[in-house]
Chains A and B, each alone.
Chain A
Amino acid sequence: MKKTVKRNLIIVFAIIILGTIAIVFYLFNMPHRDVQATKTDFSLSSSSVVAEYLANAEAANQKYLEEEGNSKILAITGNVYSISEDLKNQKVVLLKDSTDKAGVSCTFTSETNAHASQLAIGQKVTIKGVIRAGAGYDADLDLYENVIMEKCDIINNN
């Protein structure tokens, strides 16, 4: 009888220790969030998100940015203004209305680049990605900066 209690205790402790190791290991090697597989938080047009930022950047940051960097996932609808490539060979699609001061700069990934290549200038499209920073006028650059989205893919190109 005593022997089984002791054995049970050992098993319980072993499970607790193994569980702790597993949790630490999981946290340390936690994968990055899969933006495309995660639910969209807000769906809106490029003009409206830019207008929100130009009206009150602080309020917009409160709404869209998250403390640990996993900020809101947006589905932005707009017209393709330009298509370029960054230094990591990722496609960058700028969604911007010609009457707006800034747009939404959407960086694709090595997995989604091919989708961006099929777009044409002026085409209306919806792109999903994670927001990294907002739009605004920067006096030092003397430029309007675009809203920044990364991990992008096209979700609708009708």
Chain B
Amino acid sequence: MKKIIVITLAISALATMAFKSATTKLVSNNAHINFFSHTALEDISSNNYKVVSTLDQPTGDVVFSVPMQSFEFEKALMQKHFNSKDFLDTKKYPKAKYIGKISNLSDINFAKDGTYKANATGELTIKDVTKPVTATGSITVLNGKITLNSKMNLTLADYNITFSKGKPSTNVAKEVTITTEAVYLPQ
């Protein structure tokens, strides 16, 4: 009797797990993150096209995994600085991660074509430092394809990224803007 209960429970657990991953989670291997820093002296922009993201429609859970060495800058020297120990130390911390939740999920109808305003609250981890962040943006539904666009501001000092001397201290903004676009398809 006990065995039957255990087996039944195991099967139902497996079934719900299989059902969950098969139907609700959308995956994006086609995303873009832009990092923009503005100072009176210089505008610095960097792009990353190797971001992986998931979006769980019923819960509004959003995850982004960001390979840090994929950020490309116009100037090679800037890219070297970005990766170096003094800045993002990408050899030691190759990925950054965002885990968040859409806070106005009821406003979004994933089944109907349209563009919906979306807000998200979550946590961003860079160099093992996790801080709360909020993002604003939109979700566009078109023929089953779901596109997320969002924007958030980051204070670099929150992640222990500080410059005390030299060109970076004057030419890199204390607060930078992160713009994200992700196109999701069913897994």
Contact = CB atoms under 8 A, between A and B. Distances in A.
Contacts of B47: 88
Contacts of A148: 50, 67, 70
B25 interface: yes
A145 B65 contact: yes
A3 B151 CA distance: 66
Contacts of B80: 68-70
Interface in B51-88: 52-54, 63, 65, 67-70, 75-77, 79-80, 82-85
A142 B54 contact: yes
B128 to A, nearest CB: 14
B50 A107 contact: yes
Given A84-B30, A87-B181, A132 B52 contact: no
B141 interface: no
B32 A142 contact: no
B94 A133 contact: yes
Main secondary structure of the interface of A (DSSP, over half): loop
Contacts of A28: 75, 77
Contact of A143 (B30, B32, B54, B183): B54
B101 interface: no
Interface in A63-96: 65-71, 84-88, 90, 92
Contacts of A141: 52-54, 63, 65
Contacts of B44: none
B49 A86 contact: yes
B180 to A, nearest CB: 11
Given A88-B49, A142-B21, A69 B79 contact: yes
B162 interface: no
Contact of A150 (B29, B50, B65, B79): B50
Interface residues of B, number: 37
B91 interface: yes
Of residues A33, A65, A84, which shows the largest number of chain B Cβ atoms within 10 Å of its Cβ? A65
A32 B80 CA distance: 10
B76 A31 contact: yes
A86 B49 CA distance: 7
B84 A133 contact: no
A145 B52 contact: yes
The winner among A69, A90, A133 for most chain B CB atoms within 10 A is: A69
Contacts of A113: none
Given A61-B91, A67-B85, A133-B70, A87 B99 contact: no
Interface of A: 27-33, 61, 65-71, 84-88, 90, 92, 105, 107, 132-134, 138, 140-143, 145, 148, 150
30 contacts: A29-B75, A32-B79, A65-B69, A65-B91, A66-B91, A67-B83, A67-B89, A67-B91, A68-B83, A69-B79, A69-B82, A69-B90, A71-B69, A85-B30, A86-B32, A87-B31, A87-B32, A88-B32, A105-B29, A133-B68, A138-B65, A140-B97, A141-B52, A141-B53, A142-B54, A143-B27, A143-B52, A143-B54, A150-B50, A150-B70
